[in-house]
Amino acid sequence: MNYRNLFAEIGIPQAAIDRKIAETFATMFYGSEEERIYHPVGDDMGYIEDTGNIDARTEGMSYGMMMCVQLDKKEEFDRIWKWSVTYMYMTEGRHAGYFAWSCKPDGTPNAHGPAPDGEEYFAAALLMASARWGDGDGIFAYSEWARKILRDCIHRNGDGEKPGMTMWDETNHLIKFVPETPFTDASYHLPHFYEIFAERSDPGDRAFWKEAARASREYLRLACNSETGLCTDYGNYDGTPLARSFNPHAGLHYSDSYRTVYNIALDWSWNRADDWQPGECRRVQRFFENAGEKWSLVPHPDGTFTDEEAMHPVAIKSTKAAASLAAVDGANPEERALAERLVREFFEMPLRTGKRRYYDNCLYLFSLLMLAGEYRVY
């Protein structure tokens, strides 16, 4: 597999790229209290903090593990994984086999329900850890745990099998927002991970994951606006925005949605499975470029803006730049110039500090790895 280094392609020296990655990880994991999101606990555990909500989430914990396996940071990976299993993994009740999506920093659960994006990142990170470092014993038998997570996601949950409690819809192969809901979240759709699952999950489940990859690529075509490229945070299985939700931002291009375009770009980088993807990435970049000073306001998927400021502006800039990994393919000279300019501007942009840094900086580091050709399949 060829991993493009767009930073190098626009003339940034490799030494500067390597330094940028190392400094970003060091800041996020071991920087000052205003910078770091990682907290070691005791001799062998640690957690990733959502600094805006003062909790540990399966989203952040699984993100931290993926960052660590990509950067060959086994100690931090194992610490985060052990904290996750110790405090988040549920062994009884209706959600047995899943991870509680939010816990206090001391490990006390804030909720007893799971969020499927955590499980898919946990499984992918564990499979890559197995390939990169080899399986250990107990909870560090990475591939065994990954297969167990994937098995539970699509077959069973709780004390006996209960209809509707799987994390993927059994009929359309689309990931759910949570097991109990008949709708989805576009940013949860990771066909590039499902391709890995289709190769390394239980043999009897591999056809399911292959179909899930196909279904998610088809869903993303429906969910992303054909003019702006924007999607909404939550959506119906037919790609239409969710009309009513507990979340007032569900029908807007809001925080979750920012991840969608860089997921699409990463899938293109790894698989080249859908020729629609580069054009979709260009549409998103062009939309924000044409928005001018309004770029930091929250938009509807049709491109009309609200008066609300986005909570995570660094995340918008990061993922917009990461979209260049696909956007440059097939681009005309003007489109390519925009994509390359966004890459350079991103490289020169600092990490976010302060209360809301967690989400922005997670997407920042993933975007950095993507554009450096260092977000790889292991």
pTM: 0.97
Share of the chain above pLDDT 70, in %: 98
Class of the CATH domain delimited by 1-36+222-378: mainly alpha
Nearest partner of 341 among 3, 1, 7, judged by Cα: 7
Average pLDDT over every residue of 270-278 = 98
The domains of the chain are located at 1-36+222-378, 38-167
Q: Which helix (H) or strand (E) holds 194?
A: helix 191-200
Averaged pLDDT of the chain: 96
Higher pLDDT, 360 or 93: 360
Place 321 in a pLDDT band, splitting at 50, 70 and 90.
very high
Of the candidates 59, 169, 195, 218, the residue annotated as catalytic is: 59
pLDDT band at 102 (very low <50, low <70, confident <90, very high): very high
Catalytic site residue 34? no
Q: Respond yes or no: is residue 256 known to be catalytic.
A: yes
Which of 256, 329, 335, 340 is the catalytic position? 256
Quote the DSSP letter at residue 188.
G
The mean per-residue pLDDT over the stretch 274-283 comes to 98
Q: How far apart are the first and last CA of the chain?
A: 11
Structurally, what CATH architecture does the domain formed by 38-167 represent?
A: Alpha/alpha barrel (1.50)
Is 202's pLDDT higher than 70? Answer: yes
- Residue 158's pLDDT band (boundaries 50, 70, 90)? low
pLDDT single digits (tens) 330-346: 999 999 999 999 999 99
| pLDDT exceeds 90 at position 159 | no
Q: Is the pLDDT of residue 112 over 70?
A: yes
Maximum C-alpha span of the chain = 58
Same fold, 1-36+222-378 and 38-167: yes
pLDDT given at position 162: 61
Task: Answer whether residue 160 shows pLDDT above 60.
Answer: no
**3 state DSSP class of 297:** strand
User: Given pLDDT bands bounded at 50, 70 and 90, which one contains residue 245?
Assistant: confident
Q: What is the pLDDT of residues 246-265, one digit of tens each?
A: 888 999 999 999 999 999 99
Q: Smallest Cα–Cα separation from 154: which of 86, 98, 112? A: 98
